Amino acid sequence: VSGICKIFEEHLKKLNPNSASITYDVQNLFEFIDRLADLSCLVWENALKAYAPHNKDWIKEQIYTL
């Protein structure tokens, strides 16, 4: 999940190359996630002994909790 935040921050840096600092809120990040065509996250589930896929809504919940 933190990797998605990093991708968004790199995107903001490219859009604002001359800015010394860039701020954003969680709504900006969620809008960025919603604009991505395909995003999912595979998380290891010990009980299943397999990776379980999670969608954008799950990812946003994890970011909000973080």
Pair 11, 32: CB distance under 8 Å: yes
CATH of the domain at 5: 3.30.2260.10
- Quick: pLDDT tens for 1-60: 889 999 999 999 999 999 999 999 999 999 999 999 999 999 999 999 999 999 999 999
Encoded tokens for 31: 């809008």
Residue 33's domain comprises: 1-65
Please count the structural domains in the chain: 1
pLDDT at residue 18, as a whole number: 94
- Quick: pLDDT tens for 44-64: 999 999 999 999 999 999 999
User: How far is residue 49's CA from residue 56's CA, in Å, rounded to a whole number?
Assistant: 23
Which residues on adjacent β-strands are paired with residue 44?
51
Helix (H) or strand (E) holding 66: none
